[in-house]
Amino acid sequence: MLKRLILAISALCCLQTACAEQPKDFKVFREMDATNAPANIAVGADGRIFMSTHLAYGPPHKIVEVMPDGSFEPYPKAEFFPEINAVLGAIVDRDGIFWFLDTIWGKDGMGRVIGWDTKNEKLYKIFHIPRPLIYDNFILNDMAVDRDNNAIYIAETASDTTSAILVLDIDTGLVRRVLEGSKVTTPEDKQMIIRGKPLTMQGNDAKVGINPITIDDQNEYVYFAPMTSTALYRVKTADLLDKTLDNAALEARVERYADKPMSDGITIDSEGNVYISDIANSALGVITTDRKYTQLFQDDNILDWVEGFANAGDAGIYATANKLHRSPAFNNEQPTPNQFYIIQFEPLAHATLGR
């Protein structure tokens, strides 16, 4: 009898521990219409929340601050020349610098990495990324900011054969284009099926290169993947920063880390659990440190194409959902979506800021 009682208590403790390790359900933090259709999201140490809006829906403001009262204020309150055009990637680093990526197309197209000082409300730095570091087809899509090494690692989605990572030195402005056309940055030859329907761009099957990218708590590894891919990769920051490595040598140091779903955004917590969108299933999940993927939350409406994540310390993780597969940029379904969300959830471990 005593033995059975001990076993029962042990089983109960294991059950309680397992339950404690599972995130609670997500909650809707904000709901919005196409005026502020969300792209990526960024959170500062002071709790301020910033969001890029998605060019696929043509919102009037490219970046907004999500105010405590639920409103959205254009941000920053400054003029840029050329005007800010199309912003996706957005991160507030540990020093309160809000970094965002601006993609400007056309004959004189260029990319810009803009750092805005949120503490003093003034420009911190601006870097221009011209040709030949970019081509006619390019998108500065997402990034990981590494203030230990004063570097930014940018997912440059480009075409399905020229996707690459841009390595930016914050101190000098030097930009290097690495892993262009690599199997780790370009899409797999697979069809993306979203809610049972093939994802198309301009009438063709969408095959999208590197997009999700993040950096671990120690700034030791950068995790990244093509969107059209079943693999998550990682590479040491020391290798990305090593100017002596050519593309072949650098690719040899990239590790296939885990299987993943077709995905847009990712982030990572202090213990190395990687949170990732699951766009085929209107869900988001986690790749734990045993390198196994588990779906955490699923909702056909609210989690319809989760795009961006932002770690918010004790406030957990925020994520944006924008129904992008139904937008004019992709399948152009009618009617065009007009209901979008920011969600919030508690991660398995502390959500270190700057990711």
Please, what are the domains in the chain?
26-345 (2.120.10.30)
Closest CA to 309 of 292, 291, 297: 297
What is the tens place of the pLDDT at every residue in 240-281? 999 999 999 999 999 999 999 999 999 999 999 999 999 999
Look at residue 22 in the predicted model and tell me its pLDDT: 57
Sequence-distant (≥ 6) Cβ neighbours of residue 346 within 8 angstroms: 23, 24, 316, 317
Task: Note the pLDDT of residue 23.
Answer: 62
pLDDT at 205: 85
pLDDT in tens, the chain (355 residues): 433 433 343 443 433 333 335 566 999 999 999 999 999 999 999 999 999 999 999 999 999 999 999 999 999 999 999 999 999 999 999 999 999 999 999 878 899 999 999 999 999 999 999 999 999 999 999 999 999 999 999 999 999 999 999 999 999 999 999 999 999 999 999 998 888 888 888 778 889 999 999 999 999 999 999 999 999 999 999 999 999 999 999 999 999 999 999 999 999 999 999 999 999 999 999 999 999 999 999 999 999 999 999 999 999 999 999 999 998 888 777 788 999 999 999 999 999 999 9
254: number of CA atoms within 13 Å, CB side?
24
Which of the 8 DSSP states describes residue 55?
G
What's the pLDDT at 328? 84
- Which of 109, 99, 84, 102 is CA-nearest to residue 141? 102
Yes or no: say if 193 and 170 are a contact pair by the CB < 8 Å rule: no
Per-residue model confidence (pLDDT) at position 1: 40
On the 0-12 / 13-18 / 19+ scale of CB atoms within 10 A, 299 is: middle
Side by side, the strands of the sheet bearing 49-53 are 38-43, 49-53, 63-66, 72-74
Local structure of residue 262 (DSSP, 8 states)? S
For residues 101 and 40, the answer to whether their CB atoms sit within 8 Å is no
pLDDT digit string (tens) for 94-123? 999 999 999 999 878 899 999 999 999 999
Eight-class DSSP state of 351: B
Task: Supply the Cα-derived Rg of the chain in whole angstroms.
Answer: 20
Give the per-residue pLDDT at 221: 98
pLDDT (tens digit per residue) in 152-164? 999 999 999 999 9
Confidence (pLDDT) at 18: 37
